[in-house]
Amino acid sequence: MRLLTAQQFNAESQQYIDHNDENIDRAVLEIIRDVRENGDAALLKYTKQFDKVELESLLVSKEEFLEAKAQVSLEFVVAIQKAKKNIQEFHEVQKEHSWFVNGENGILLGQKVTALNSVGIYVPGGKASYPSTVLMNAIPAKIAGVKNIAITTPPQSNGKVSPYVLVAAMEAGVDVVYKVGGAQAIAALAYGTGSVRKVVKIVGPGNAYVARAKKWVFGDVAIDMIAGPSEICVVADDTAIPRFVAADLLSQAEHDERATAICITTSSAFAEQLQEEVEKQMQTSERKEIIEQSITDNGKIVLVGSMDEAFEIVNNLAPEHLQLMIENPLEQMHRIENAGAIFLGNYSPEALGDYIAGPNHTLPTSGTAAFSSPLGVYDFQKKSSIIQYSKEALQDVTEDIITLANAEGLQAHANSIQIRKVDD
Amino acid sequence: MRLLTAQQFNAESQQYIDHNDENIDRAVLEIIRDVRENGDAALLKYTKQFDKVELESLLVSKEEFLEAKAQVSLEFVVAIQKAKKNIQEFHEVQKEHSWFVNGENGILLGQKVTALNSVGIYVPGGKASYPSTVLMNAIPAKIAGVKNIAITTPPQSNGKVSPYVLVAAMEAGVDVVYKVGGAQAIAALAYGTGSVRKVVKIVGPGNAYVARAKKWVFGDVAIDMIAGPSEICVVADDTAIPRFVAADLLSQAEHDERATAICITTSSAFAEQLQEEVEKQMQTSERKEIIEQSITDNGKIVLVGSMDEAFEIVNNLAPEHLQLMIENPLEQMHRIENAGAIFLGNYSPEALGDYIAGPNHTLPTSGTAAFSSPLGVYDFQKKSSIIQYSKEALQDVTEDIITLANAEGLQAHANSIQIRKVDD
């Protein structure tokens, strides 16, 4: 793992990144067009082509749900239920409520909060399975009051969906699961097909094709975010334990060769120990190839002169996961402007938040924490403003509205006020 | 104005709309590339090409701000200040606050709310000027605590910015105004140039080029929404006053030939009176050509059999502006699932909300109220989740996390927990 100064690190961060890839876009746009025109037939065709499975039905059946229940261990069910409880408790606090204020002369202003009617959750599949993704996306939608929640996930080579995913779906109260992945799944959720019901919002992570498809359907439906590779940033001082930090960096690196693991430290002794620990732990890790690639390409230890310098880097980076493994982390938290989630102290590793602590693990990646938030109940609710004026209240502002409408050259706006003035 | 049954209306609404336009996209992507590579030189070039002005500086000077103050009437300043006060009071209520909950064994969970660091507001210009757009976008950002707020607007043919816009900017506390419009303005805000400071979020309405540019830079920066043409939907019964409803429909129609004005009513007598009133008022309107085109193309009166039918149409339509001009509108409000803003009664016309009532006039258009909200303070704040566990608290969930990580095949995640278990 490379050791850099703050200056070296900043110089490397000034890269020009172009996220657009014309080849992916062309393929994705063709898939979207095809699904809009040919519906289920297109979905079945792409599932055969990409997932190497010929399906008869795109829907997971009741029997398959029951099979899944029989296939998972009791420990798994217990763990899922514990996670569910914590996620529910945390997200309940986020629920928003309608509000109003009264003014003079019968003025009523406010906002009415309503749940989205329907949501589609993309859950990556194929070889791996992500039951935690199911909980983290479905539970906030349920708490918001979304009536129609569907999951879509690519089938395994046997034409089934992972039992872990199906059990998590049942625990989260989702009973519609489609066996379709990729850009075709996003198109189906956005526009509907014979089997797949159109939704108004699509959430959940996916590969580059899924991400681009989400970008293309955005506007016709809402999306959560366009997720990039995952990152961790650990700020460590002398009180941090190198073994722990190394394990945390590796847990991020195992996600993806493009994942980023960065440790910023004020201690050169710690930096050296960390380098050794990372090398050592890498040798015994199961996903060694991915981890080595990721650490070699994107792993960095940044040695800084002060905590001020450390937090300046953090705020420029806007990391998805930020671990403060320093003395009195809570006292330093006010310095953080941009981060998806902040983990405090030596016993709050990222994996705790990924699975069970309660806050959402869907976090803004690739610096987007500078302008976006973790997924939450608020992503599944929307607001309508409310305006009620009485005749008297309107009279009081009549001249002002007419002045402003005239300044904008919008005479019919002015007239809609004027016409109410002369009425008795 | 055409009179339709609910069935006829629904049949017409089933159109397949493709928002993508390859010619616009090609032009927009070229402009973005050019601005990223050539900075201010590209901005000055496009301003000369599209706005027919050769500028020396892209920034509005202090002298120009002072000039603007001298050019506007006292009535205008008074009206702007009244609007500002109402907008501020309404948006103060929306401000979100950090929160936390404590659990057993030293668990601390919560969300830290932070303002975005920088925001760019696009204000359309050229022949028209929109001071109300300035207030509606800048005031919520100010209340959120955004430190750097900039406006960008195309210059008039004399190389100046409308004094109305500059006075509104001063009132809202914005002192950076760039003289640049179109896709080039969006690119400049997203990536920065010599004169234009990069921001993390871009808000505000614009033409098709501005809208597509926002779609393309989305992900690198946040955007508010991709605004389409504006709509009004009035639900009216026998208590509605045809003159008022006609004036309100026309106030929407004058925005744009593509604007939509719809009235849904249970009364055929009212429908006929409304038709007459619309014809009559159209003849005397200043923006007659736009209004006639818009009403002919997109103006519809829908005669329904019941209020149930009316609200079903409303919820499918998800109108930007919804006026309930019926008896006891507040009692019917619970039926509304999708609408940008709801105006209640005969004395709450849309123009009241456009300018002065207080709620934001930036509303979800073209059916997007099914999944999005009016612009608000919440659009300029973001959240970071907070997770702090003690050693004891982590021990309690160690086995569950390991079970879940193993189910997902993420062994390094499991290891980051395991390694803390054996530590004393």
Q: Give pLDDT, residue A228.
A: 79
Task: Tell me whether residues A82 and B397 touch, CB distance under 8 A.
Answer: yes
Distance between CA B310 and CA B325 in Å, rounded? 12
Half-sphere exposure of A16 (CA within 13 A, CB side): 5
Point out the annotated binding site of A for Zn(2+): 252, 255, 354, 413
B38 appears as a binding residue in the annotation: no
The model's pLDDT over B76-101, given as tens digits with 9 standing for 90+, comes to 999 999 999 999 999 999 999 999 99
Q: What is the pLDDT of residues B155-172, one digit of tens each?
A: 999 999 999 999 999 999
Is the CB of B94 less than 8 angstroms away from the CB of A111?
yes
pLDDT score at B96: 96
Please report where in the chains the tokens 């979800």 appear, as a residue. Answer: B364
Q: What is the CA radius of gyration of chain B?
A: 25
Residues of chain B with C-beta less than 8 angstroms from the C-beta of A353? 385, 387
| CATH superfamily for domain A228-370 | Nitrogenase molybdenum iron protein domain (3.40.50.1980)
Alpha-carbon gap: A40 to the closest alpha carbon of chain B (Å): 18
Contact B383 A368 (CB under 8 A): no
One CATH from 3.40.50.1980, 3.40.50.620, 3.40.30.10, 3.40.50.720 for A22-223: 3.40.50.1980
- Fold equal for A22-223 and A228-370: yes
Would you state the structure tokens that stand for residue A336, as one six-digit string? 């953080």
Gyration radius of chain A's alpha carbons: 25
Residue A387 one-letter amino acid: I
pLDDT tens for residues B378-423?
999 999 999 999 999 999 999 999 999 999 999 999 999 999 986 5
Query: Is B171 labeled as catalytic in the residue annotation?
Result: no
**Per-residue model confidence as pLDDT tens digits over B309-324:** 999 999 999 999 999 9
Assess whether pLDDT exceeds 70 at residue B362: yes
Mean pLDDT in chain B?
94
pLDDT of the residue at A127: 73
Provide the pLDDT for residue B353.
97
Considering chain A, what is the average pLDDT of its residues? 94
Give percent of chain B with pLDDT exceeding 90.
Answer: 88
C-alpha to C-alpha distances, A274 to A241, A250, A281, B423, nearest whole angstrom? 9, 12, 10, 17
Confirm or deny that B91 is annotated as ligand binding.
no
> For A163-220, what is each residue's pLDDT tens digit?
999 999 999 999 899 999 999 999 999 999 999 999 999 999 998 899 999 989 998 9
Residue A13: what pLDDT? 77
Q: What average pLDDT does the segment A148-176 reach?
A: 96
Q: Which residues of A touch B354 (CB under 8 A)?
A: 405, 413
Mean pLDDT computed over A381-387: 98
Residue B184, annotated ligand binder? yes
ipTM confidence: 0.95
Mark whether B91 is an active-site residue. no
CB contact under 8 A, B408 and A93: no
Cα–Cα distance, B96 to B112 (Å, whole number): 10
Q: Do B385 and A200 touch (CB under 8 A)?
A: no
Helix (H) or strand (E) holding B113: strand B107-115
For the cut 60, the answer to whether the pLDDT of residue B292 exceeds it is yes
Size of interface A-B (CB pairs under 8 A): 395
- Express each pLDDT in B116-134 by its tens digit: 999 999 999 877 899 999 9
pLDDT in tens, A238-248: 999 999 999 99
- State the nearest Cα–Cα gap between A267 and chain B, in angstroms: 22
Cβ contacts of residue A206 below 8 Å, gap of 6+?
A122, A124, A181, A182, A186, A214, A227
B230 among annotated binding-site residues: yes
Q: What is the pLDDT of residue B175?
A: 85
What's residue A422's pLDDT?
62
Q: What CATH fold (topology level) applies to the domain B229-371? A: Rossmann fold (3.40.50)
Is B253 in contact with A222 (Cβ distance < 8 A)?
no
Task: Give the pLDDT mean for A298-315.
Answer: 96
Q: Cα separation of B413 and A350, whole Å?
A: 8
Which of the residues B254, B321, B350, B361 is marked catalytic? B321
Give the pLDDT mean for A118-142.
94
The yes-or-no verdict on residue A12 having pLDDT over 90 is: no
Tell me the domain boundaries of chain A.
Answer: 22-223, 228-370, 389-421
- Cα separation, B357 vs B359, whole angstroms: 6
